[in-house]
Homo-oligomer: A and B are copies of this chain.
Amino acid sequence: MILNDNLTPKQIASALRVSESSVKRWCDRGDIRTDRTLGGHRRIPLGFLLEFLETTNRRILDPVALGLAPLGRSVVQNSTSELDSEATIARFEKSLLLGSEPECRKIISSWYSTQGGMCSLADDLLCPTFRSVGKLWREGTIDIYQERLACEICHRIVLELKWLLAEPSATAPLAMGGTPAGDQYQLATLLTEMVFREQGWRTAGLGANIPFPSLLSAARKHMPKIFWISVSHIEDEKTFLEAYADFAKRLPKGIVLVVGGRALSDELRPKMMYSAHCDGMRHLTTLAKALKTGSLPLAPQI
């Protein structure tokens, strides 16, 4: 996998546009976790670098220096080039519809590394793209298989990204969740799982199209700290609400129930009971951060 590579201080220096000395200092001070060659040269796995970037709120300025694909950049007046997300999203959508997995992989891994991790990948790249793809499908411009193939490709690549994330510690809290019956959309629940992983949680993603009673027994058996429900599509609203209500009522009290997904409209949500609703992965990330150590600060609401 291209993503698993050991970087030298020089590469990182040029990627971040800082001096090599600074990178070496950060390594020695422990800000960047660092491996060493037998001869004592520093070697930094990409995952360690990303870890550093997140805690210090830094960005990769030159992905090419790390062997990643260049993302579209537009030259702004003051000579600082900014990410042209519009162009990149368009390029990504095109590659998806053509079914070109390698091209999509380049874009995703580059976006993931240079932007804000899973969060930005989900909210800023994948979500808009699939909104657009869904529209094209409803318009009849593209075929169903293209939409499915797009999901399949993204699913595979996001799974690959898992190898960049540090193995969660055995004592980390457990997050469990899935997508209820009638909803086949797997990508959303996978991204949810990855966000928890990124925040150091242990996770158990149950997948899509699982009946509520079965979700309930999974929760009861494993007693996670958080249970997430990702809803992208609702077959029948009344049936859904009934099944959900029963699920929420019988969920053990110690478990935080988090819901999200584009199907949970403003009209629907007031009829549901949950601990938290997340409007996008950025939202979820802050929640995961907060709940990781502290106990639940959120009271159930109606």
Contact = CB atoms under 8 A, between A and B. Distances in A.
Interface of A: 1, 4-6, 17-18, 22, 26, 31, 35, 37-38, 56-58, 61-62, 70, 72-73, 99, 143-146, 148-149, 151-152, 156, 159, 163, 167, 178, 184, 204-207, 209-211, 214-215, 217-218, 222
Contacts of A163: 1, 72
B214 A144 contact: yes
A145 B72 contact: no
A192 B4 CA distance: 27
Which 4 A/B pairs are nearest by Cβ-Cβ distance?
A144-B214, A145-B214, A145-B218, A152-B207
Given A1-B163, A143-B217, A145-B206, 13 more contacts: A5-B61, A35-B58, A38-B56, A72-B167, A144-B211, A145-B210, A148-B210, A149-B204, A149-B218, A151-B207, A152-B205, A152-B207, A184-B209
Contacts of A61: 4-6
A275 B103 CA distance: 33
B4 A206 contact: no
Nearest to A209: B184
A91 B125 CA distance: 41
B4 A149 contact: no
Most-contacted residue by chain B among A4, A145, A184, A209 (CB, 10 A): A145
A167 B2 CA distance: 13
Contacts of A145: 178, 206, 210, 214-215, 217-218
17 contacts: A4-B62, A5-B61, A6-B61, A18-B37, A22-B37, A26-B38, A31-B38, A35-B57, A99-B222, A143-B217, A143-B218, A144-B210, A145-B215, A148-B207, A148-B210, A151-B207, A152-B206
A143 B38 contact: no
